[in-house]
Structure 1
Amino acid sequence: MLKPSLMLTAGLLAAPHLHAQTLQRELGDFDLKLGTTPTRSMAQGLVAPGTIGSFHGGIDVTHDSGWYFGQWSPSVGLTPDSNFELDSYLGYKRRLVPDFGYELGMISYTRPDVADGNSHQLYAGMRVFESRFGAAFSEAVDSRSGTLFADFGQLPLFNLDVSVKVSRYSLSSPYALGDGELVEGFSDWSMQVSRPLMGVDLNLIYSSSDLRGGECVAYSGHNPACDSMVTLKAQRAFF
């Protein structure tokens, strides 16, 4: 019943004159953000809203007490090759002292046009000095997964930022391979080393999983590939 109104809201957010902009207002103890780019990441960046296609948008509301809630639609589903999706979240974020803070929350992914497409996720995050730690547990109809994330900040002497992510996936129905072998679950991991150089952010990423060879047909994790991969990314902000 909510889909038409939510689609209308997201459609308005995706209008050309509001593209990639955020409207922010303070209403008493509440901070309201409305825009076509995600305004929040959760669990110290482990859980981050994404975009699918050209039409997306959302709303985020934060209370001075630390409570927040919002909805983000990465895809309004207006094109034939896209499906409507709505991500609704509720959480609490608190900084106790300048060098320590924590966060707890949950997010629900609703995909009414996809059979068994809904899923849920619980997440938590913590910041200690310059280090960030995050954890998330996801449950869908066909699988469950748990992820741990750690960003240790810049290492002394080397001026390098190091972060690692490890995930474990359990399949509700084992994946049958051609030789009769069953894949009931798998793990994947990644490590990223970052360093600024002459205004350019250099990122070296190593990713892999415990699936090998023909087992990779069962892979559906966070990494772009099942096998071991090394990726070099260079980013520069011009504005």
Structure 2
Amino acid sequence: MKNKTLNLATPSVLAALTFLSAPALAVEGLSANVGFTSNYLWRGVTQTDDGAAISGGIDYAADNGFYAGTWVSNVDFSDDASYELDLYLGFGGEINENISYDLGYIYYAYPDSAESDKDNEYDFGEIYAGISFANITLAANYGIHNDDGAEWADKALYLSVDAEFEVAEGLTLNLHLGDYSFDDDYDSGDYTDYGISLSKNGFTLALSDTDLDNDDVKFTVSYAIDLDL
């Protein structure tokens, strides 16, 4: 879901950046992230109408594997929605030195999507599970509830596999393949997305595409930093 021309006046983005720039007492397990991308892609589909996006998030991770967080970005779907606010929590850990797992729930909210049309609400939620074997990660997301404007999300299943390799000192190559399938009650075509990216020192160059009709290969440039709070 999501993207538009970069809008620094988005309320939640401004709030997040204000928080991140304010002096704060160090809290064990608390961290933040700030990022910029030339095009916010989600499962291969632009969320900003092929425009730029700025994002920020706050995360808490406990020693026992529990974590929770929030993340915000500007979006553009040619309607009232100007930002996305995600809330999530989960539990992860290691089975051994080569195998780890991750289980959780994420809620995607678009608080201003129905400003002029009360029927245009499309918040939705997913449960997810992932398992990593060395440098390979397999993951599944499943839609469990949604507003009326997000019928497509109900019982939708997204399966993905990602492989990560260090090809040079500090330079990481990521290969991605995803498959999005929708419930038969929703008249929408299933699709596959795939991509390749190179990352170093917070910068990422990526190519992404889908098998949707009239969808072109997209090239994106992104930069992100993580901060301990």
TM-score, normalization by structure 1: 0.57
1:165 equivalent in alignment to 2:178: yes
Matched residue count: 183
Higher RCO, 1 vs 2 (CA within 8 Å, ≥6 residues apart): 2
The 3 A distance-change label for structure 1 pair 193 and 24 is farther
Q: CA deviation at 1:81?
A: 6.1
Q: What is the DSSP-based 3-state SS (H/G/I as helix, E as strand, rest coil) of the residue aligned with 2:182? A: strand
1:23, 1:35 within 8 Å by CA — same for their partners in 2?
no
Q: How does 1:19-168 map to 2 (within 5 A)?
A: 25-27=26-28, 31-37=29-35, 57-75=56-74, 82-83=81-82, 85-113=84-112, 114=114, 115-138=120-143, 139-140=145-146, 141=148, 142-143=151-152, 144=154, 145-154=156-165, 162-168=175-181
2:12, 2:72 within 8 Å by CA — same for their partners in 1?
no
Distance 1:202 1:57 in 2: 19
Counterpart of 1:3 in structure 2 is: none
TM-score, normalization by structure 2: 0.59
1:123 partner letter: Y
Q: Which runs of 5+ in 1 are unaligned?
A: 1-6, 39-44, 174-183, 210-225
The 3 A distance-change label for structure 1 pair 171 and 33 is farther
Q: Output one character per residue of 1:23-44: Cα deviation in whole Å (capped at 9) or x when no partner.
A: 79333xxx11245449xxxxxx
1:95, 1:101 within 8 Å by CA — same for their partners in 2?
yes
Q: Output one character per residue of 1:144-195: Cα deviation in whole Å (capped at 9) or x when no partner.
A: 32111112445x9xx975431111123756xxxxxxxxxx231111233457
- Aligned-pair RMSD on alpha carbons? 4.5
